Amino acid sequence: MDQFPISSADALFAIEAVREASLLARRIQREMVTGTLTKDDRSPVTVADFAVQAVIARRLAEQLPGATLIGEENADALRLEEGVAILDQITEFVRSSISDATPEEVCNLIDRGAGEPPETYWTLDPIDGTKGFLRREQYAVALALVRNGKVELGVLGCPELAPKNVGIAGQSSDADGCICVASRDQGAWCQPLTAKPGWQKLTASPHTQSSSARILRSVEKSHTNVDEISQLASKLGTTEPPVGMDSQAKYAVLAAGGGDIMLRLLSPSRPDYREKIWDQAAGSIVIEEAGGRITDLDGKSLDFSHGRTLAKNRGVVATNGHLHDAVLSALRQLGA
């Protein structure tokens, strides 16, 4: 077994913060997500989003004082009269990790993530994969450290992705879950979420033939262009049907060799959409450090130095590295 080389204070903080937050998210999901949810009932994921962001913000303040957090959520709605009930729920869950938390502090902690990014910052997606969370399928807690527009460290907590199946493309759920970490020039690694045995090194697949490539895509059609993915598969001669997975869990699967191509194409309904930094930061370095490659649709590196979005990038293409040029060429031919 390869020796785990990642030991910086930043990495040790991020691993344990994401582990704690992932276990909290799992608890909220199991207590609040039931078979009787209505179509528009997103309250469980709302509670989890806010609770996870509050806990990680508190841990960051305790262990790396002065560090900046850029998170998906802000507490504006929780400070309104109609937000009191859900704030009380959030606070109760946060108290399982932070016993002295008050509703006011919870709001303040959440709002630590509401600013604009400086040159060095942490970025957090507290619950990446809303629909997966509600379906009890794939979702992730994603935390990354960015310096000068480049991701230096990323951690993914995947409570429903089995460590033994992290290299298998599909919806595999497991009681252990997994945690993946990557640090620049130190590789990408995985271990069970609830136990702490040795770390397994992640390596992207060696496949060089596009005809046998396995394509990973978002489940949500609003997040990509499903028709164009089908056209791309035809152009590449790929016979395997695309695998739909929620969240950056699919980035871990690709990094482990369980897929070869991952796409975030521009939806026809949102052609000007630009990815949020927290939706890509942690997963991007996990793929790169596993030997894969990730760019935008034009082949440009992802640039995390333009505020809260990837303003200078269009969409995302990630591959095992070997197939990247072929995918970009096919996308150009399709006019993507």
Per-residue pLDDT tens digits for 308-336: 999 999 999 999 999 999 999 999 999 87
Active site residue 130: yes
Catalytic residue, from 123, 130, 203, 295: name it: 130
- In sequence order, what are the residues at sequence separation of 6 or more whose Cβ sits closer than 8 angstroms to the Cβ of residue 12? none
Predicted TM-score (pTM) of the model is 0.94
- With pLDDT > 90 as the criterion, what percentage of the chain qualifies? 79
Residue 222's pLDDT is what? Answer: 58
Q: Where are the domains of the chain?
A: 9-201, 210-334
Is CATH 3.40.50.300 correct for 9-201? no
- Rounded CA gap, 161 and 174, in Å? 6
Q: Which of 313, 295, 306 is nearest to 121 (CA)?
A: 306
Q: Which of 174, 148, 214, 190 is nearest to 290 (CA)?
A: 190
- Asked if domains 9-201 and 210-334 share a fold, the reply is no
Tokens of 76: 């504006």
Q: Which of 159, 241, 161, 147 is nearest to 202 (CA)?
A: 161
Catalytic residue, from 49, 246, 279, 296: name it: 49
- Rounded CA gap, 301 and 50, in Å? 31
Compare 165 and 159 and report the one with higher pLDDT: 159
For residue 219, give Cα distances in angstroms to 52, 107, 129, 245: 23, 31, 9, 5
Active site residue 224: no
Q: pLDDT band for 170, please (50, 70, 90 cuts).
A: very low
With tokens 């959440």, the residue in question is 110
Give the H or E element holding residue 147.
Answer: strand 140-147
Residue 171's pLDDT is what? Answer: 46
Q: Are 287 and 171 in contact (CB under 8 A)?
A: no
Facing residues of 261 across strands?
A: 215, 319
Per-residue pLDDT tens digits for 48-87: 999 999 999 999 999 999 999 999 999 999 999 999 999 9
For residues 274-297, average pLDDT: 98
Q: pLDDT band for 114, please (50, 70, 90 cuts).
A: very high
Domain 210-334 - what CATH class?
A: alpha beta
